[in-house]
Amino acid sequence: DTGVSQDPRHKITKRGQNVTFRCDPISEHNRLYWYRQTLGQGPEFLTYFQNEAQLEKSRLLSDRFSAERPKGSFSTLEIQRTEQGDSAMYLCASSLHPLGGSTDTQYFGPGTRLTVL
Amino acid sequence: GNSVTQMEGPVTLSEEAFLTINCTYTATGYPSLFWYVQYPGEGLQLLLKATKADDKGSNKGFEATYRKETTSFHLEKGSVQVSDSAVYFCAPKWNGNQFYFGTGTSLTVIP
């Protein structure tokens, strides 16, 4: 299966620690997205990349959050000095954005569940 | 701003019952409209989509029609099965690149 993969699937950390998550998109997808989903809510957009360029960031993405996609393939999302409010499911999605088009389907990974104690 | 309102759950139906899950969005422009489904223990999967007014998306017996007049994209299925038990998310996407997901509607189908 060559779907979107995320690692780790679960992460438990203590408040104040840094954590890093990885996302491997579907091969040849040029866009990669990060979302956050809390219990009982739909996913909320955090940021997205087209190839290696980070093109948009949500206001939800505080200074403690940073995302990279250095070679236009996999991406990492780092949270520094974690807080209990960061506890959530972090979802990654990828898509193949057509040239000159605006509508593409996003394919989601299984998510990384973060628990901050 | 852009937003979406989705019927609250949980919804419990008997097998073979008719399903409707309502979804409406704010009328700022003409988004593409998507329904995603999340089965227990799995990631979000695209269920169906429609990209312009009056388009009908369909998949696995589910249907939804893009209604510009009522800014709605209600999900329907004529006869649900136990295997349809999942959480369903309505997700408009405007000219930007992010989805605006609804809060999700949990469906449980009992035999």
Tens digits of per-residue pLDDT, B11-37?
A: 999 999 999 999 999 877 888 999 999
pLDDT category at B3 given cuts 50, 70, 90 is: confident
Q: Quick one: pLDDT band at residue A100, thresholds 50, 70, 90?
A: low
Q: Which of B32, B89, B96 sits opposite A42 (nearest CB)?
A: B89
The answer to whether the Cβ–Cβ distance between B103 and A109 falls below 8 Å is: no
Alpha-carbon separation of residue B48 from A113, B51, B83 (angstroms): 26, 10, 17
A86–chain B nearest CA distance, Å: 19
Position B65 pLDDT exceeds 90: yes
Computed over every residue of chain A, the mean pLDDT equals 91
* Positive or negative: CA dihedral B43, A54, A10, A4: positive
B49/A56 Cβ within 8 A: no
Short-list B93, B70, B81, B60, CA closest to B23? B70
Nearest to B98 by CA among A41, A11, A37, A104: A104
CB B50 within 8 A of CB B64: yes
Q: Is the model more confident about A101 or about B16?
A: B16
